[in-house]
Amino acid sequence: MGSKGTTSLGKMGGKGTHIRCRRCGRHAYHVRKKRCAACGFGEIAKLRRYSWQNKKINRTRIV
* One-character DSSP codes across the chain: ----SHHHHTT---S-SEE--TTT-SS-EETTTTEETTT-TTT-SSPP--TTSSPP---S---
What's the structural domain count of the chain? Answer: 1
Instruction: For residues 2-9, give the mean pLDDT.
Output: 78
Q: Give residue-wise pLDDT tens across range 13-58.
A: 777 889 999 999 999 999 999 999 999 999 999 999 998 888 877 7
Q: Are 31 and 19 in contact (CB under 8 A)?
A: yes
CATH number, domain of 43, equals: 2.20.25.30
The verdict on residue 39 lying in a domain is: yes
Nearest to 15 by CA among 3, 26, 27: 27
The verdict on residue 8 lying in a domain is: no
4 vs 19, which has greater pLDDT? 19
pTM of the model: 0.64
The verdict on residue 2 lying in a domain is: no
